[in-house]
Amino acid sequence: MTNLLELINSGVTGITLNVTPEDLLYLVKQTIEAAKNELLPVMVSAAKEALLTKQEVMEKFGVCHTTLWNWGRNNILIPVKVGKKVCYRQSDVERLILEKGK
């Protein structure tokens, strides 16, 4: 069986291959496994990140709904939807606090 992923990553060009269905299946499985290894840690850490409610953010900054809506529209503080509920990432709020404090 030819390891197509290693062949592709080696940079070899200008060759002709006869590929079996098994080779393609192995390539797909390798690609999926590599994607899982790369993305899973990022997804897990994102899932663990603390979210603040709209009310908590309004109180923290002393602003109203309209200001939060405008911040989202202007990419200042992007809301995260959890079902129908609007939340904000704590890391984004902390970043904004540091920026506003300067």
Both 56 and 87 in one domain: the answer is: yes
Inform me whether the pLDDT recorded for 102 exceeds 80: no
Both 30 and 14 in one domain: the answer is: yes
Read off the pLDDT band of 2 (50, 70, 90): low
Both 70 and 56 in one domain: the answer is: yes
Both 85 and 60 in one domain: the answer is: yes
Residue 57 CB-density burial (10 A; 0-12 exposed, 13-18 middle, 19+ buried): buried
Q: Which residues of 71-96 are buried (b: 16+ CB within 10 A; e: fewer)?
A: beeeeebebeeeeeebbbbeebbeeb
Domain that holds residue 33: 4-47
pLDDT tens digits, one per residue of 17-58 = 888 898 889 889 989 998 999 888 877 776 677 899 999 999
Q: Provide the whole-model pTM.
A: 0.53
